[in-house]
Amino acid sequence: MKKHILLLTAASLSLLLASCSFTSSASSLPRVGILQFVTHDGLNLCRTGFIAGMKQGGYEEDNNVSFTIMNPEGDASTQNSMAVNLRDNCQLVCGIATPSALALKTSIEDVNKDDLPLVFCAVTDPVKAGLVKSFTEHANIVGTSDAGPTYKNIELFKKFEGIEKIGILYNLTEPNSIVQFEETKSACQELNLTLVDGGFSSTSELESTLEGMIGQGIKGLFIPVDNTVAAAMASIKEKILQHSVLAVCGDASEIKNGGSLGYATDYYSLGIQTGKLAARILKGEKTETIPCEKSEVYNLYINDSYFKETAYTLPSDLAPLGNGVIIHE
C-alpha cells in the first residue's frame, strides 16, 4: 500500500497515538479520512468503491488527494480514538457503516467543528440512527443508505415448502439491525410467518443464539445487513448446512460466505455513489445542498453450493440465470 495511506487496526492503535502528525510526501494534498467499522467483504467493497468513486469524480490517489484508512475491528473505544484523529487531520471524513459514521459525528460535535464534511456509506437508516434529520435536511453530513428490500427478502421464504417459522439473527447494538428487525416483524405478520427473535448483544452470544433458534424449530433464517453477523458467517455456515436451515440474507457477502440467497445491495456500486458525493464536496459544493441517496443497485444473489449440499431445490422462477440473478460458486 502506498506510503501516505495509513491502514490501522485495533492492534496498531499505539502506532496511531504515537504518530499523529501524518508527515507524508503528500501532506499538501487534501486528506480524506476513512473509518471502516470492521473487516468483511461488504464493507471492504464500500471502501474500494469509495476510492474508485472519488477517482471518477476527479480525485485520484497520489495525484490530487490522499487517503488515511482506519479500522477499529469493531472495538468501540479504539473507534472513538480513531474518529478523533481523523477529525483533527483530514479535510473530509467518511464513515463506513452506522457505528463508524456515528463515532465521527460525535467527535465532530465534541469540538463544534461543523465545517468538516462527514460522508457516510452503508448506513441503513441515517434518520433513525440520528445522523441526519432527513435525506434532504442535514448540515455537514451526507451519504448513502444500503437499506435493502426487507419485505421482498422475507417473501422468498414463501417460495419454499415447509417453512412456516423463521428466525432473525442480528446484533442488538447496531441501530441498522434494529430497523431491519422491525421491518421483518411487520413482513412476517403480513405473510403469516412465525418469527423467532434472535437478537444478541455481543459476538460471544452469536452462535448460542443461533443454536437456540434452531432448537425452537426454525426452518428459515433471515440475516439482515448486520456487520457483526457478516463478519462471523464462516463460523455459522456449518450449522446452517447441518440443520438445512434456509438462510435468506440482506448482504451479498453473507450469501457468498454461507447463506442461501437474497436480494442485496451491490456494495462496490454503493461505495462509488458515496465517493462521487465526496468528490462533489471537495470541488466546492455545499454538503447541505446535496441530498442523501439510497443504493441504486440490487441483485438477487444465490449461493449455488448451498443448494447442492441440502435438500432444497430452487423454485423454477429463480433457477435460470440472467435477469439480475448472480450465482456465487
**Any bridge partners for residue 47, and if so which?**
none
CA nearest neighbour of 265 among 94, 35, 46 = 46
CA nearest neighbour of 123 among 253, 229, 254, 274 = 274
Other Cβ atoms closer than 10 A to 296: 12
Lowest mean pLDDT among 3-7, 96-100, 265-269: 3-7
pLDDT digits (tens, 9 = 90+) for 99-120: 999 999 999 999 999 999 999 9
The pLDDT of residue 296? 78
Residue 97 has pLDDT above 80, yes or no: yes
pLDDT digits (tens, 9 = 90+) for 168-211: 999 999 888 999 999 999 999 999 999 999 999 999 999 999 99
The pLDDT of residue 252? 87
The pLDDT of residue 11? 42
pLDDT digits (tens, 9 = 90+) for 30-63: 999 999 999 988 899 999 999 999 999 999 998 9
Q: Running DSSP on this structure, what letter comes out for residue 124?
A: S
Strands, E assignment, 155-260: 165-171, 194-200, 220-223, 246-249
User: What mean pLDDT is predicted for residues 273-289?
Assistant: 97
For residues 116 and 287, the answer to whether their CB atoms sit within 8 Å is no
pLDDT digits (tens, 9 = 90+) for 137-148: 999 999 999 988
User: What mean pLDDT is predicted for residues 88-93?
Assistant: 98
Could you give the CA distance from residue 212 to residue 148 in angstroms, rounded to a whole number? 27
Q: Where in the chain is the domain with CATH 3.40.50.2300?
A: 7-146+266-294, 150-265+298-328
Residue that is written with C-alpha cell 465534541 in the block:
110
CA nearest neighbour of 327 among 158, 309, 318, 311 = 318
CATH architecture of 7-146+266-294: 3-Layer(aba) Sandwich (3.40)
The pLDDT of residue 19? 38
- C-alpha torsion 215→216→219→223, nearest 10: -90
Could you give the CA distance from residue 226 to residue 124 in angstroms, rounded to a whole number? 10
Give percent helix, percent strand, percent coil of the chain, each to the nearest 5: 40, 20, 35
CATH architecture of 150-265+298-328: 3-Layer(aba) Sandwich (3.40)
Residue 3 has pLDDT above 60, yes or no: no
Cell numbers describing residue 260: 442461501
Band of residue 163 on the pLDDT scale cut at 50, 70, 90? very high
For residues 225 and 265, the answer to whether their CB atoms sit within 8 Å is yes
Residue that is written with C-alpha cell 412456516 in the block:
164
User: What mean pLDDT is predicted for residues 80-87?
Assistant: 98
**SS3 category, 284:** coil
CA nearest neighbour of 265 among 189, 182, 175, 152 = 152
Other Cβ atoms closer than 10 A to 56: 12
Could you give the CA distance from residue 292 to residue 288 in angstroms, rounded to a whole number? 10
Cell numbers describing residue 253: 457477502
pLDDT digits (tens, 9 = 90+) for 287-329: 999 999 998 778 889 998 898 899 898 888 886 544 455 654 4
| N- to C-terminal Cα separation, the chain | 29
The pLDDT of residue 289? 95
pLDDT digits (tens, 9 = 90+) for 55-83: 999 999 989 999 999 999 999 999 999 99
Could you give the CA distance from residue 43 to residue 38 in angstroms, rounded to a whole number? 7
User: What mean pLDDT is predicted for residues 213-240?
Assistant: 94
Band of residue 253 on the pLDDT scale cut at 50, 70, 90? confident
The pLDDT of residue 83? 98
Cell numbers describing residue 34: 476513512
Q: Distance of alpha carbon 211 from its chain centroid, rounded?
A: 25
3-state secondary structure 69-109: EECCCCCHHHHHHHHHHHHHHCCEEEEECHHHHHHHHHHHH
For residues 193 and 166, the answer to whether their CB atoms sit within 8 Å is yes
The pLDDT of residue 23? 39
